Amino acid sequence: MYLYNICIYCYTEIIGNMPFVLKTVAALMVAVVMSSSATASVEPVYSMGYIWRNTTEKANAPVASLDLSAGAVPQVLDWRTKGVVTPVKTQGHCGSCWAFSAVETVESALAIATGQPPVPLSVEQILVCCSTLVGSQCSSCMGGDPIAAYRYIQTNSSGLDADKDYPYDPTTNPFKPPMCKANSSKPVAKVTSWSYAVPRCVRGPCSPSERSAEEQALVAAVAQHGPVSICIMASKSFINYKSGVYNGPCASAVIQQNHCVSIVGYNVEDKYWLVRNTWGTNWGEDGYIRMAMGSNLCGITNEATIVNVTQA
């Protein structure tokens, strides 16, 4: 476990600053150690897995239309109380945060669109089938990008299966991936499009002075579109979070982002975001963290995305 914790520290503090190619190689090395330690430890596991890359697809992606007029959004919102958020999950020894963040966003979007209770959907399908069919930015337990997951569901599949039909396996081997077992006769959700919730940060420090308008707009995005997938910089202080409103320290530069989660609510009056993690319910506040609002903390607005979903 000691070696595993060193790897998490390296991924958090060092890999985030690397160019994409070196970042990918380093993620492979971390995945090897994570895999070797998976059966030896019963201690809490805090895996990450987001590998940021600037792409033409991202550059050409649309930004959501929002109503920013006075009184257009509530001051306090918690989508959990509206019955559209599935229970907190545990990613284990697998760099699958990106897949969980994407799938959880699809789950909530489908529940909002249909007015039906949310159905837990298959993260394993993303890890196995996306890696096989999409490849780039979609590297199973070695890491990936929510946008690659959206692309797979939208253009490379007949839809996303239910988790009960294609359950999650945190020991999925990214070096010898199993055969895709998606059931084309049983898909539950289909992504019709995705967009940025607010304009993305492309380069630089992504500081509060640069991102203040985007953070205000993100409130409207969460209120008007539902839970939002975000990718942030999970620092040592983030890993060690227990309770209260988290204020860092953590970097906001886009190149240092290493972990994807989802915003399920906010409190403008008390100035915090309600964020769901995938490290189980023993982490943080029953699996959630309240992150301070107003400073683009950990790069919370940099890669915020939403999806349009229909029943498959």
64 vs 228: CA distance, rounded Å: 12
Give yes or no for a contact between 176 and 102, defined as CB atoms under 8 angstroms apart: no
Residue 277 designated active-site: yes
Task: Provide the token pair at 220.
Answer: 């409207």
296 vs 211: CA distance, rounded Å: 6
Give yes or no for a contact between 198 and 304, defined as CB atoms under 8 angstroms apart: yes
Residue 259 designated active-site: yes
49 vs 15: CA distance, rounded Å: 11
104 vs 88: CA distance, rounded Å: 10
Catalytic residue among 7, 94, 97, 250: 97
Q: Helix, strand, or coil here: 157?
A: coil
Q: Which neighbouring-strand residues pair with 91?
A: none
CB burial string 135-150: b at 16+ within 10 A, e below? eebbbbbbbbbbbbbb
Catalytic residue among 258, 267, 277, 296: 277
> Burial, 180: exposed, middle or buried (Cβ in 10 Å; 0-12, 13-18, 19+)?
middle
Catalytic residue among 130, 141, 201, 259: 259
Task: Provide the token pair at 21.
Answer: 């190619």
Q: Please name which of 133, 135, 138, 177 lies closest in space to residue 158, comparing C-alpha atoms.
A: 133
Which residues are catalytic, by number?
Answer: 97, 259, 277
